[in-house]
Chains A and B, each alone.
Chain A
Amino acid sequence: MSRDFASLRLTGWGLTAPSVARVATVAPEDLPECVKDSGVRGVIARGLGRSYGDAAQNSGGSVLRLAGSISEVVIDRESSTVTASAAVSLDELLTVIVPQGFFVPVSPGTRFVTVGGAIASDIHGKNHHADGSFGVHVRRLSLLLADGTVRELSPTSGADLFWATVGGMGLTGIILDATFAVLPIETSSCIVSTVRCPNLEELLSEMSVGDEEHRYSVSWVDLLARGRSFGRGVLWRGDHARLSDLNAKQASAPLRYTTRRVTSVPPIIPPPGLVNPFSSRFFNEIWLRKEPRRKDGQIKSIPAYFHPLDSIGSWNRLYGPRGFIQYQFVVPFERADSLQRCVELVVESRLASPLVVLKRFGPSNEAPLSFPMPGWTLTVDMPAAAAGLSALCRRLDDVVLEAGGRHYLAKDAHTRAESIVRGYPRLDEWRRTRDAVDPGRVWQSDLSRRLALLG
């Protein structure tokens, strides 16, 4: 089995906390052998490495990439489901299913995630308030277990292990393939309404009514503006456009789907990177002013509406070699005061980059480690080398946990084990389900070690 392994230095998308593991791309049929010989440092699966922290790293152990091809995707038009290898990316999937009149049930801010990663992180998107996270759309999956056997799981058969795998960060096994619902669409366009809000109070009240009338809803907040403009932002709400929404030219090829990469960030950006308070303030000003005060019915393409950052390759390098963290938390609706407090703390610190997302989550699902719960979720990118960032994160953690909120494991690169214990009250239940199928702790990652997830 040593034949295809290479020692590689890996990081997450945030480029922080590198570690070295033995990495190989393995066909599903060869996986049991690789897992059997894993040794004391264990195995973790890695997709496209878009987790921000160390979820898909396994220092001193094995990191396996599943080999799988988009050519084996099966679309069932009757039931509106897709069956795909866990290695297939949403990017590949969209190029196949959009022209056929379907869209993925949930899309995060990037299409460069795999189906396996989407389930293991139980990803959410702009439609969480309407459709929930990715896991609730999964009809079945097959999971390679620590003993080398493959188990079929669904919400009705092996439900405990199924839900432990959804949001389980790859620590229950390796997802091989999955069947999940897709959304029928008439066109590949989105119809978007925009509201620009001059401060946080107006933004929150604008967001608090009307989400249910749209499938997609998300806001951007300027976390550098102070004074009267404190918490100013833009709310975008959208839906898949119907044929009748398009003009004659657009309607001639309603399901046309093309993506393009405008540019790519070069591999070497000298420290401290290009993201600093000056460049960020400049960007925020332009970003805000380009948006209309209030406008309905704008037609946008899927890439422009869902994945604007994907048009810039390797944008994570903009932060320089020390990388960045993406701080994401959710707090219950009734604790909007804690959201306000977190925004204040970030604004005071002057550490926020322009990449900020604010959204209202809908109900949570049955998975013990699924991140979303009813409440406000805020996501902020910040350069990891910034002085005072650790102290800021500690204060934010305190506010979030005190309010009964929690942090997203797929993004975490900073917190302590105690934060996860507090934020995920069903952690012990997840551990019991997990331990039953992996008593020898074959599945391990830097994340699981750093946060003592396995107990």
Chain B
Amino acid sequence: MQNAFGETQNIVVLGGMSEIGLAIARRLMGRATRSVVLACRRPDEATSQVASLRREGVDVRAMAFDAADTGSHASFMNRLIAEHGDLDVVIVAFGQLGDQTRFDDDPESAVRVAQTNFTGAISVSLHVAKQLRRQGHGRLIVLSSVAGQRVRKANFVYGSTKAGLDGFAQGLSDSLEGSGASVLIVRPGFVHSAMTTGMKAAPFATTPDAVAEATLRALRSSRRTVWVPGLLRGVFSVFRHLPGPVWRRLPLG
């Protein structure tokens, strides 16, 4: 349950190694918080992430979760609910960028990215939504990306998975109307993080902490989408309508 200040008792990060997911969880943690679950493929490797969130009176733990293994999601959810009761906030933070230059020669690796970013996210989000509907409250935060707003050649596999996920999340958000549960779609631009280390930063680059701060503000004001930085909303409404020949020539990497 949340209290009058919107502070939640439990927080679940799906993709518990995600820097953005962790940053959101850290900012969400308030006085009411009793437990934080970092769900990731190798929970034994998440010790520093777990330690970074630990505080007095809060049970922080890592739990095994494989986004791509959709068959395991039902039992994962059952265990999560059995151990933590109502889910107040669930953050879908996992995702793989992949290497666009290798996808042409290795389509299998592109499929793996799609299986995690899109198929896995759909599967687990539907499981979460079912529980949120049942409990009559709760928030699902879906980390989308501006990369899905107009997919560019430099990362069109990743971009297309985010485009699909974003569309899915919008529909899910509408379908939860009136249930007491809701979805917040977060669309960051280029984020400086482990995932993007060594890459050339795009214009309007941001940080996990800035994404977390914007997410918190959007949660408090009950918004359904948030762009980080906010300026990107305007930028992409222009980008979406650019004629193809112009779009292809833009120096976007």
Contacts and interface: CB of A to CB of B under 8 A. Distances in A.
Contacts of A60: 133-137, 180
A19 B137 contact: yes
A14 B5 CA distance: 11
A20 B178 contact: yes
A271 B223 CA distance: 14
A264 interface: no
B27 interface: no
Main secondary structure on A side of the interface with B: loop
Contacts of B5: 16, 384, 389-390, 414
Interface in B4-48: 4-7, 9, 30-32
A283 B2 CA distance: 32
A14 B32 CA distance: 18
User: Among B4, B30, B137, which residue has the most Cβ atoms of chain A within 10 A?
Assistant: B4
Interface residues of B, number: 25
Contact of B85 (A17, A322, A325, A449): A449
Given A7-B178, A390-B7, A449 B136 contact: no
Contacts of B136: 19-21, 41, 58-61
A385 B136 CA distance: 23
Most buried by B among A16, A59, A418: A59
Interface string A166-193: 0000000000000000000000000000
Contacts of A446: 1, 137
Q: Which of B7, B134, B137 has the most CB of A within 10 A?
A: B137
A394 interface: yes
Contacts of A450: 1, 3, 9, 32
Contact of A390 (B30, B133, B134, B178): B30
Given A16-B4, A17-B3, A59 B180 contact: yes
A17 B180 contact: no
Nearest to B30: A390
Contacts of A394: 31
A367 to B, nearest CB: 25
Contacts of A389: 5
B179 interface: yes
A449 B30 CA distance: 18
A362 interface: no
B213 interface: no
B58 to A, nearest CB: 11
A349 to B, nearest CB: 14
A53 B31 contact: no
Nearest to A9: B180
Interface in A432-455: 446, 449-450
A351 interface: no
A413 interface: yes
A413 B57 CA distance: 19
Nearest to A19: B137
B137 A59 contact: yes
Contact of A17 (B1, B30, B57, B179): B1
A54 B180 contact: no
B86 interface: yes
B138 to A, nearest CB: 9
Contacts of B181: 20
B117 to A, nearest CB: 30
A293 interface: no
A18 B180 contact: yes
Interface string B84-112: 01100000000000000000000000000
Contacts of B31: 390, 393-394, 416
A323 interface: yes
A414 B85 contact: no
Interface string B219-235: 01100000000000000
Interface in B130-166: 133-137
A446 B2 CA distance: 9
B3 A414 contact: yes
Contact of B180 (A19, A53, A416): A19
B32 A416 contact: yes
B93 to A, nearest CB: 25
A41 B135 contact: yes
Interface in A252-301: 271
A54 B178 contact: no
A58 B135 CA distance: 9
25 contacts: A9-B178, A14-B4, A19-B137, A20-B136, A20-B179, A20-B181, A21-B180, A41-B135, A53-B4, A54-B1, A59-B180, A60-B133, A322-B220, A323-B4, A390-B30, A390-B31, A414-B4, A416-B31, A416-B32, A446-B1, A446-B137, A449-B85, A450-B3, A450-B9, A450-B32
Given A59-B1, A416-B31, 18 more contacts: A7-B178, A16-B3, A17-B1, A17-B2, A18-B180, A19-B1, A20-B178, A20-B179, A20-B180, A41-B136, A54-B1, A60-B137, A390-B30, A394-B31, A413-B4, A414-B4, A414-B32, A449-B86
Q: Which 9 A-B pairs have the closest CB atoms?
A: A20-B180, A59-B136, A60-B136, A413-B4, A16-B4, A450-B1, A19-B137, A20-B136, A60-B135
